[in-house]
Amino acid sequence: MTERITINTPVRFNDHLPDAVDVTIIGGGVIGVFAALYLSQAGQKVLLCEKGRIAGEQSSRNWGWIRQQGRDAAELPIMMRALELWRDADARTGGACGFRTGGTVFLSRTDTAQEDYENWVAIAKTHGLESRLLTAGQVTDMFGGAASCNWAAALHTPSDARGEPWQAVPAVAAMAQSQGALLREDCAVRGLDIVAGRIAGVLTEHGRVRCPQVILAAGAWSSIFARRCGVRIPQLTLRGTVLQTAPLPQVFNGAACDEELGIRRREDGGYTLALTDRHSYFLGPDGFRHARMYLPLLRSSWRTLGLHPWQPAGFPDGWRTARWWAEDEETPFERMRVLEPAPSSSQIAKARSRFAARFQGLGLPNIQSAWAGMIDAMPDVVPIVDRVPQLNGLILATGMSAHGFGIGPGYGEILMKMATGQPVGFDMRRFRFGRFSDGSKLEIGPEL
């Protein structure tokens, strides 16, 4: 897969709809695809239903970072495992994931970030992860003398990696299919078949499939689907704009960011660029419904938020997007097979100019492609990965908050263990379903 995934991408996965499976997965992003792979390897009969295209939304529209650095402390052990799993997946797909160890570096123009970086080094050390502070001279050497910016503080984790999202997730999906998983694109799940308070199956646009367990990993669409089933989650969506440059000389082989710009070296010789100080939020009904819960996060990040008063038609939280439908009716998922928001032209221009200011010898980069994706976010910037207590058989994995691509294999393996009744091997209290309603104090995680 060398081109971006859109609604015009031909259907690649079109397995038959079985009468019954052990587990149905709703959503063909990185989390769902890895869960399908590991469930198949565990001997489970699994069906993955994707309303549009595998990885058509945020799982192929992200930055492509596979980073441990800067993770929430509770996520770090899972992310360290995910790094191992990415390496394995890349080897098993013949390098199709584009996995490369190039390190991650956080940079700051002022020394105000120094304390945060030192605190992170202490967290990393407790897990045996090599993260270190860099001197100004070491930063200069890292960029081969090509950087035109004098950063005052820097944090580096050499073992971090990068991948190529357009290629990686479909390649893993093909591997899951080869292991026995059934994958079907253009197959929206319209509802759950619930009998006596427990899941008995799923109702798709092409028919019913019996199953005792469902994993809901539908990204930006998880909230509206869950609400239709009587499950409320405080999830909102943000637009992130990303661009791909034409090939350029290499100044860094990994991923780097400062307060304004993020960059990632690409396999095609260019860079993926995005702003780190700007996301767009399109207001919808859930924005009002969950406003109070997001106030703590808003206080710390309001400067980075571009507010738009109207979510576009057909978007998950659009003002006219249906919240209820019958199982024999067309749903919002069929009306919007692939969510493809328009990128922000002003953010594209800023990313180009900021890159040129930091690497003056390279000049203003030519744009090869630009796109945007809708990021599923939670009020504390960490996901829900848990069983839903009030609906027996439903497992929820959503709200990845722009961190899902890198950690995807880790959560996929955890979901497999949850579904098969195995100990997951990690402390999952931080990601529990009930934390937004059990009176717990909201603990906001790292926002990058």
Q: What's the confidence (pLDDT) of residue 300?
A: 86
What's the pLDDT band for 191 if we cut at 50, 70, 90?
very high
Q: What's the confidence (pLDDT) of residue 5?
A: 97
pTM for the model stands at: 0.97
Q: What proportion of the chain, given as a percentage, has pLDDT over 90?
A: 95
What's the pLDDT band for 361 if we cut at 50, 70, 90?
very high
Per-residue pLDDT tens for 140-154? 999 999 999 989 999
Domains of the chain with CATH codes: 23-103+159-436 (3.50.50.60), 104-158 (no CATH)
Q: What's the confidence (pLDDT) of residue 301?
A: 87
Per-residue pLDDT tens for 165-182? 999 999 999 999 999 999
Per-residue pLDDT tens for 205-263? 999 999 999 999 999 999 999 999 999 999 999 999 999 999 999 999 999 999 999 99
HEC string of the chain equals CCCCCCCCCCCCCECCCCCECCEEEECCCHHHHHHHHHHHHCCCCEEEECCCCCCCCHHHHCCCEECCCCCCCCCHHHHHHHHHHHHHHHHHCCCCCCCEECCEEEEECCHHHHHHHHHHHHHHHHCCCCCEECCHHHHHHHCCCCCCCCCCEEEEECCCEECCHHHHHHHHHHHHHHCCCEEECCCCEEEEEEECCEEEEEEECCEEEECCEEEECCHHHHHHHHHHCCCCCCCEEEEEEEEEECCCCCCCCCEEECCCEEEEECCCCCEEEEECCCEEEECCHHHHHCHHHHHHHHHHHHHHEEEECCCCCCCCCCCCCCCCCCCCCCCHHHHCCCCCCCCCHHHHHHHHHHHHHHCCCCCCCCEEEEEEEEEEECCCCCCEEEECCCCECEEEEECCCCCHHHHHHHHHHHHHHHHHCCCCCCCCHHHCHHHHCCCCCCCCCCCC
Q: What's the confidence (pLDDT) of residue 303?
A: 85
Residue 1: pLDDT above 70?
no
Mean pLDDT of 388-407: 97
What's the pLDDT band for 276 if we cut at 50, 70, 90?
very high
Q: What's the confidence (pLDDT) of residue 2?
A: 67
Residue 62: pLDDT above 80?
yes
Mean pLDDT of 98-119: 95
Per-residue pLDDT tens for 299-317? 888 888 999 988 999 999 9
Residue 279: pLDDT above 60?
yes
